[in-house]
Amino acid sequence: MTEDWTQAWRTATVTDNREVGRGFRLLHLEVADALPFPFEPGHVVSLRHAGHRHPYTLSWTDPGSRTVGLLFRVIPGGRLTPSLESATPGTVMEINGLHHEPIAGMIAPEARAVVGLSTGSGIGPLWGFSRRALAAGFDRPITLVAGYREAADICLAPELDALQAAHPGFTWHPTLTQPGPGWTGHRGRVGETAAALVEDPRHCHFHLVGNGAMLAEMKAALALCAVPEAQVTSEVFFNFKAEADPEVVRALAARFL
């Protein structure tokens, strides 16, 4: 990949745009040009449409059809997401660049299992990584824990359920902080649920995506549990300056231990 390639704005045509959770949409784009197609889940590109641009982390990539997909949350009154929400197949947009390391490239080879923790749209790249890795024969267990407020917010449930049914080594667990009376699944914050599912965190690679507060607290808690620094990677989507609450960190570490 040359410098000119990374700076080029490339035409990307919408092939699909559907709701996958309350306020969340999965947008598929075809990049039909002669330039390289090295995209993987976890890569970040700039998307330009309707006079605005914004970085997005890729969830779906398919070299065969030259399509990429991104999971986004619609922000009412936002500059870009309302126009993305209404985009129909055939709508032309542009993408640019190739930033951030893909998730597959960050997984520590010595880790015996992979644990992905997400809030909101952070489940997108983790789903894409898992789908691609399992199709390629990834032989270590993968566990995803996705945090939401209410059941209606859960994203990509059919896709994740199908992946779990097809691969015995893959499991995923939505957890809710404001569950309704009929909810029978996990309750509480992402880290609390993960602590009940992971037997020995020191042998896992953790990839954290989403709210900066969750990332800060999990990183600090895992450090207290003696998880090697190389086995904890992350990407913050919002709340970039959040600092870990020491009491929360100690409680999380105690749960893991």
d(CA 126, CA 115): 10
Percentage of the chain exceeding pLDDT 90:
93
Q: What is the pLDDT of residue 241?
A: 85
Asked if residues 233 and 205 have their Cβ atoms less than 8 Å apart, the reply is yes
Q: pLDDT digits over 172-186, tens only? A: 999 999 999 999 999
Across residues 61-68, what is the average pLDDT?
A: 96
Q: 5 falls in which pLDDT band (50, 70, 90)? A: confident
Residue 33 DSSP SS3: coil
Query: Looking up tokens 């390289």, which residue turns up?
Result: 36
Q: What is the pLDDT of residue 3?
A: 55
Is the pLDDT at 73 greater than 70? The verdict is yes
For the stretch 20-43, pLDDT in tens is: 999 999 999 999 999 999 999 999
Question: Is the pLDDT assigned to residue 94 strictly greater than 70?
Answer: yes
Has residue 134 got a pLDDT over 80?
yes
Locus of tokens 């499991």: 171
* Domains of the chain in sequence order: 3-99 (2.40.30.10), 103-256 (3.40.50.80)
Going by C-alpha positions, the residue among 146, 196, 156 that lies closest to residue 176 is 146
Using an 8 Å Cβ cutoff, are 222 and 215 in contact?
no
First-to-last CA distance in the chain? Answer: 44
